[in-house]
């Protein structure tokens, strides 16, 4: 290690030469002098493993031995660190196990792998005296893993709020700024390379939820299987909702939240209204943002590119440097991340109170508003404001005597989510109500 005085190059293996993998190789080559200064010794890419060696690759990359066999890295004793930069669960999981069992420290950007198999992989690494670094797995270039795990170590974290999925945020920003439909904005995100051909893990909230599970472990010292976190994606957001929110002074963002609530953790990933002018509302395009409240430090806010080749590569290489100099090993051992005795998170139910934004589409006839506000009142829900909009255009249908549909947009005062959901069950059963009503949480600061 550098601080022992060795200046021999460290040899690393790269598993996966996709967008992030080639970014890491490029950064290690282009910024070699700079990186050597921080690592105390040169870092040399010794070998790469890919699925399809015939695939076209960035021809500006240096010539490195490329193989399809993980053994070319795992069995090479001169390689001490492997960067595992493939997505998905398999073969990523088996590769990580093989690398650890053969004495490699691992750096990864694979949040799905950690959210799904983190506990077993971390236990294995600890048992073998190895480390796993994963700054790049959450919020790309934002050093949020180090911030929570090290810099805020003296704090009891009260809450985390984040915009953790750049694809969703890009789509919502385009809808809001261009008036595009969800489908148009998604197509643009795909054309620009911000969304995968199959964007479902991004837009259904899976990706953000897996990241929230990892951050919550760091912040609260508990483990929560990501599938237990309530999750709603942005595929439920239409352009009308964005317009109504704007009218009230809000934008819609896919927000991941974890906060202490009566000895439990209230967690969710869902579209929410965020007040214009607050930092989350000003987070646009492919940017990510994280706001953390610690008991000593107060509110901290971090903003940066959450995805993309070089921001993610920057985080991977910082982890490689930390592993070379020995900081990763220390953090991994002292904080006991994801150890066998990590307690399971106790999730709070829907009884946490906040303001809610409701959109209820109704047939425009006398008494409907009274009926709906009556049901809300019966559930103890107090209304802050109501907007009833003009009848919804029904294409070029001729005027008839059938009453048109109108949208009721209601902002409540703070009340338990459970009460709102029960009220909406009754409301959605009313004859006059069309389709399923929408309910979003409201974040005023």
Determine, following the binding rule CB under 8 A, whether residue 105 of this chain makes contact with a copy of itself: no
User: Crossing angle, helix 182-191 and helix 166-178, to 10 degrees?
Assistant: 120
Q: Supply φ then ψ for residue 415, to 5 degrees.
A: -160, 160
Q: Which two tokens stand for residue 130?
A: 């190895």
Region 347-386 residues binding a copy of itself, contact defined as CB under 8 A: none
Region 63-92 residues binding a copy of itself, contact defined as CB under 8 A: none
Determine, following the binding rule CB under 8 A, whether residue 444 of this chain makes contact with a copy of itself: no
Query: Residue 32 or residue 425: which is nearer to a copy of itself going by CB?
Result: 32
Task: Name which position in 325, 372, 407, 438 contacts a copy of itself (CB under 8 A).
Answer: 325
Query: Residue 258 or residue 292: which is nearer to a copy of itself going by CB?
Result: 292
Query: Residue 40 or residue 416: which is nearer to a copy of itself going by CB?
Result: 40
Determine, following the binding rule CB under 8 A, whether residue 246 of this chain makes contact with a copy of itself: no
Contact by Cβ (8 Å): 218, 145 = yes
Q: Supply φ then ψ for residue 191, to 5 degrees.
A: -60, -35
Q: Which two tokens stand for residue 420?
A: 């709102």
210 to 124, 269, 282, 334, 375: CA distances (angstroms) = 21, 10, 24, 24, 36
Determine, following the binding rule CB under 8 A, whether residue 40 of this chain makes contact with a copy of itself: yes
Task: Name which position in 35, 86, 242, 420 contacts a copy of itself (CB under 8 A).
Answer: 35
383 to 51, 242, 417: CA distances (angstroms) = 57, 20, 14
Closest CB 131 distance from a copy of itself, rounded Å? 11
How far apart CA 327 and CA 341 sit, in angstroms, is 23
Determine, following the binding rule CB under 8 A, whether residue 318 of this chain makes contact with a copy of itself: yes
Determine, following the binding rule CB under 8 A, whether residue 281 of this chain makes contact with a copy of itself: no
Closest CB 309 distance from a copy of itself, rounded Å? 9
Contact by Cβ (8 Å): 141, 305 = yes
Query: Residue 336 or residue 377: which is nearer to a copy of itself going by CB?
Result: 336
| b/e burial code for range 104-142 (CB count within 10 A of at least 16 → b) | bbbbbbbbbbbbbbbbebbebbbeeebbbbbbbbbbbbb
Closest CB 161 distance from a copy of itself, rounded Å? 13
Strands (E), 306-394: 353-363, 383-388
Query: Residue 272 or residue 290: which is nearer to a copy of itself going by CB?
Result: 290
Determine, following the binding rule CB under 8 A, whether residue 169 of this chain makes contact with a copy of itself: no
Site map 131..160 versus a copy of itself, x via CB under 8 A = ----x-----xxx--xx--xxxxxxx----
Segment lying near a copy of itself (by CB under 8 A), choices 76-84, 88-96, 222-230, 313-321: 313-321
Closest CB 83 distance from a copy of itself, rounded Å? 12
**Site size with a copy of itself, rule: CB under 8 A:** 60
How far apart CA 204 and CA 209 sit, in angstroms, is 10
Contact by Cβ (8 Å): 250, 275 = yes
Contact by Cβ (8 Å): 411, 421 = no
Closest CB 154 distance from a copy of itself, rounded Å? 4
Determine, following the binding rule CB under 8 A, whether residue 114 of this chain makes contact with a copy of itself: no
How far apart CA 241 and CA 258 sit, in angstroms, is 24
Closest by Cα among 294, 255, 269, 241 to 409: 241
| Residue 160, beta-bridge partner list | 258, 292
Query: Residue 6 or residue 75: which is nearer to a copy of itself going by CB?
Result: 6
Determine, following the binding rule CB under 8 A, whether residue 42 of this chain makes contact with a copy of itself: no
Active site residue 227: no
Closest CB 238 distance from a copy of itself, rounded Å? 27
DSSP letters spanning 377-432: HHTTPPEEEEEEPPPPP-TTPPP-SSPPEEEEEEEE-SEEHHHHHHHHHHHHTSTT
Region 290-309 residues binding a copy of itself, contact defined as CB under 8 A: 294-305, 308
Closest CB 173 distance from a copy of itself, rounded Å? 15
Task: Name which position in 116, 207, 322, 354 contacts a copy of itself (CB under 8 A).
Answer: 322
> Which of 104, 111, 211, 346 does the annotation list as catalytic?
211
How far apart CA 396 and CA 394 sit, in angstroms, is 6
Closest CB 105 distance from a copy of itself, rounded Å? 14
Task: List residues binding a copy of itself (CB under 8 A).
Answer: 2-3, 23, 27, 31, 34-35, 37-40, 135, 141-143, 146-147, 150-156, 221, 277, 279, 282, 294-305, 308, 310-311, 313-315, 317-318, 321-322, 325-327, 329-331, 333-336
- List, by residue number, the catalytic residues: 211
């Amino acid at each position: 290690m550098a601080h022992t005085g060795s200046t021999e190059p460290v040899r690393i293996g790269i598993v996966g030469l996709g967008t992030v993998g080639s970014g890491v190789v490029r950064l290690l080559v282009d910024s070699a002098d700079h990186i050597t200064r921080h690592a105390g010794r040169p870092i040399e890419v010794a070998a790469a493993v890919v699925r399809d060696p015939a695939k076209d690759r960035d021809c500006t990359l240096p010539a490195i031995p490329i193989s399809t066999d993980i053994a070319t890295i795992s069995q090479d004793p001169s390689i001490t660190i492997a960067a595992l930069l493939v997505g998905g669960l398999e073969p990523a999981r088996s590769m990580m196990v093989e690398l650890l069992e053969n004495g490699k420290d691992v750096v990864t950007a694979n949040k799905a792998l950690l959210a799904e198999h983190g506990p077993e992989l971390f236990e294995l690494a600890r048992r073998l005296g190895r480390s796993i670094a994963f700054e790049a797995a959450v919020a790309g270039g934002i050093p949020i893993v180090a911030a929570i795990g090290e810099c805020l170590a003296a704090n009891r974290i009260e809450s985390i709020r984040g915009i953790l999925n750049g694809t969703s945020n890009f789509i919502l920003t385009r809808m809001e700024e261009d008036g595009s439909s969800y489908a148009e904005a998604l197509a643009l995100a795909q054309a620009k390379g911000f969304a995968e051909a199959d964007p479902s893990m991004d837009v259904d909230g899976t990706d953000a939820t897996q990241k929230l599970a990892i951050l919550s472990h760091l912040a609260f010292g508990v483990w929560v299987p990501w599938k237990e976190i309530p999750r709603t994606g942005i595929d439920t957001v239409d352009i009308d909702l964005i317009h109504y929110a704007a009218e009230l002074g809000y934008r819609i963002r896919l927000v991941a939240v974890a906060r202490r609530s009566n000895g439990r953790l209230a967690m969710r990933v869902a579209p929410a209204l965020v007040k214009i002018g607050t930092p989350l509302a000003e987070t646009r395009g492919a940017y990510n943002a994280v706001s953390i409240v610690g008991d000593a430090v107060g509110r901290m806010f971090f903003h940066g590119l959450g995805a993309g080749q070089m921001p993610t590569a920057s985080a991977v290489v910082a982890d490689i440097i930390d592993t070379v100099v020995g900081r990763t090993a220390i953090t991994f051992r002292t904080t006991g991340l994801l150890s066998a005795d990590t307690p399971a998170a106790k999730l709070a139910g829907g009884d946490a109170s906040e303001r809610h934004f409701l959109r209820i589409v109704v047939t425009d006839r006398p008494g409907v508003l009274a009926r709906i506000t009556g049901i809300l009142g019966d559930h103890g829900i107090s209304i802050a404001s109501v907007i009833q909009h003009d009848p919804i255009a029904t294409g070029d249908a001729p005027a008839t005597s059938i009453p048109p549909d109108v949208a009721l947009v209601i902002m409540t005062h703070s009340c338990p989510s459970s009460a709102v959901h029960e009220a909406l069950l009754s409301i959605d059963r009313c004859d006059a109500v069309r389709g399923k009503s929408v309910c979003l949480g409201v974040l005023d600061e």
